[in-house]
Chains A and B, each alone.
Chain A
Amino acid sequence: MNPTTFFIFTTLLKIVGIVFVVILPMVSYAVYAERKVSALIQDRLGPNRVGPAGLFQPIADAMKFVLKEDFTPAHVNKFYYWLAPCLAMVPAITTVAVVPFGSTLFGVPMVIADINVGVLFVFAIASLGVYGIVIGGWASNSKYPFLGGLRSTSQMISYELSLGLAVIPIFLLIGNLRLTEVVHYQINHGWLIVPFAGDWRNPLGWLLAVPMWISFAVFAIAVFAETNRLPFDLPEAETELVGGYHTEYSSMKFALFFLGEYAAMITGSAIIVTLFLGGWHFPGIPDGSHGWIFGLINIFVFFAKIAVLLFVFIWVRFTLPRFRYDQLMRLGWVFFFEIALVNIFWAAAILTFFDR
């Protein structure tokens, strides 16, 4: 097999494997986990009818979505009404392309596209995700979806700024936008959430801890806002907007919006894991060059970290109340934006005076 064919073959294998074998089942089981964890928090039982402990519930849900009548209201703008659910799902999954989800397996690097502008690619594709929601809200041609679409636009634009500014200290430190380099830096110098872990006697690591924590906090909260999750789920606030931007949608088209949100959550968690929590690295576990079993363990570690973050997403949803819209905007523009800017200057100053 010549290198080009081999490259195309392995890339296709990685795309199919990661999207259909890992991400999509993870999406449907994230819905199950959401219902189970919320039941736990609210002292209920949650889904427990289909299969042992309700484990086959996602399959039953999928069957229900497929078999339901696909109803298109008469007053909608047909073409865009059909386009919107696709646009909501595609960017969320495309983002995975640049995320290193494992070390190597049989010598093949476990990342679909290792490009030198990795994190910018993530932001660029994630910023396209807003079109699905906006077009869905507009094409439905009724007032609640429209309000949801408008809210979502302004919310996503506002928090994109904090998202972008929050990661700049990381790249000041590492000097490279390539996500595999970010992971390798963390393997050698300690995870960025604990930058002092690599070398305890180096004052730089201790000084960088605070800007990294601020970055992490701002980034994580901005991801909540970007994925329209509570406490920032104003675009689909049930108590105000019925269902928000997907009020007029039913059956599989609604399912695409719904699953797109969970896919966005998973990719958002994947970015947080890659940037702050060491990616596929876990102390004491060697990388894939020591045997294929370690390569598999690395991939498992990566998705285990994502699962933990998903639990946090769900935990937050059933713990915090929803923000008011003006509070949301003030938080984004007056608080996070400024704190991220100051954080950049601070990190830059530390790096200037304590150069390694």
Chain B
Amino acid sequence: MPAFLFWLFAGVMLVFGALVVINRNPIASALSLVVCFLGLAALFISLDAFFIGIIQVLVYAGAVMVLFLFIIMLLDLRAEERRRMNWVAFTGGFVVAFSLLVQILAVISRTQMAKQAFPPLASQQVDDVRNIGLLLFGNYNLPFQIIAVVILVATVGVIVLSKRQLR
């Protein structure tokens, strides 16, 4: 893909990722996160990983964030907008984030693989949906099933917790 597209979408992701934290309005934060996810999906698609990119939009931007918005709208979060910035927390967060960035840069600069451009995940001709399916249900069938059971347990747990009175 043209490099400028990478910089464009990476820039979009970073700006809107920062806006998630900076915005005082929770709805604005949630919507910034949606745009951030769209940028991430665009990056996946530019690596020819269509399936992962589209699933990113479908699951995170289309379903999870809609539920987030739904919950945020039901709560009254006016107090959040009026809150002053806590400078101690701001400095602490900045130090942690900055040291993490330095750490990642240090690791990347030492590994050999990070110095070359990453090859596209799949060429145009490869059917990545089929490949992911074969991998998930072939090589990683047991972990996949275990994750499915864990998610099922979580779902049942949520329903049990949200039911006020149990019979």
Separation in Å of the B5 CB from the closest CB of chain A? 14
- Say yes or no: is B66 at the interface (Cβ < 8 Å to chain A): yes
Chain B residues, CB < 8 A from A123: 58, 62
Which listed residue (B27, B50, B62) contacts A116, Cβ 8 A? Answer: B50
Separation in Å of the B70 CB from the closest CB of chain A? 5
Encode contact with A along B67-108: 1 for CB under 8 Å, 0 otherwise. 101100110000000000000000000000000000000000
Within 8 A of B (CB), among A294-343: none
Interface contact B66-A120, CB-CB below 8 Å: no
Stretch in A7-15, A29-37, A131-139, A238-246 touching the partner: A131-139
Chain B residues, CB < 8 A from A124: 54-55, 57-58, 61-62
Separation in Å of the B120 CB from the closest CB of chain A? 14
Interface contact B67-A157, CB-CB below 8 Å: yes
Interface residues in A, total, Cβ within 8 A? 26
Separation in Å of the B36 CB from the closest CB of chain A? 14
Contact residues of A: prevailing secondary structure: helix
Chain A residues, CB < 8 A from B34: 131
**CB-nearest residue of chain B relative to A177?**
B129
Interface contact B70-A120, CB-CB below 8 Å: no
Interface contact B57-A125, CB-CB below 8 Å: yes
Bound together, the chains give a CA A153 to CA B74 distance in angstroms of 12
- Say yes or no: is A154 at the interface (Cβ < 8 Å to chain B): yes
Bound together, the chains give a CA A120 to CA B132 distance in angstroms of 15
- Say yes or no: is B121 at the interface (Cβ < 8 Å to chain A): no
Interface contact A121-B73, CB-CB below 8 Å: no
Bound together, the chains give a CA A125 to CA B56 distance in angstroms of 11
Chain A residues, CB < 8 A from B67: 157
Interface contact A120-B51, CB-CB below 8 Å: yes
Bound together, the chains give a CA A130 to CA B69 distance in angstroms of 11
Chain A residues, CB < 8 A from B51: 116-117, 120
- Say yes or no: is B156 at the interface (Cβ < 8 Å to chain A): no
- Say yes or no: is B47 at the interface (Cβ < 8 Å to chain A): no
Chain B residues, CB < 8 A from A287: none
Bound together, the chains give a CA A115 to CA B27 distance in angstroms of 33
Interface contact A153-B69, CB-CB below 8 Å: yes
Bound together, the chains give a CA A22 to CA B74 distance in angstroms of 40
Bound together, the chains give a CA A77 to CA B55 distance in angstroms of 31
Bound together, the chains give a CA A128 to CA B37 distance in angstroms of 12
Q: Which residues of A contact B (CB under 8 A)?
A: 80, 115-117, 120-121, 123-125, 127-128, 130-131, 134-135, 138, 146, 149-150, 153-154, 156-157, 160, 176-177
Q: Which residues of B contact A (CB under 8 A)?
A: 27, 31, 34, 50-51, 54-55, 57-58, 61-63, 66-67, 69-70, 73-74, 127-129
| Sample (10) of A-B pairs whose CB atoms are under 8 Å apart | A115-B50, A117-B129, A124-B62, A128-B61, A131-B34, A131-B66, A153-B66, A153-B70, A154-B70, A176-B127
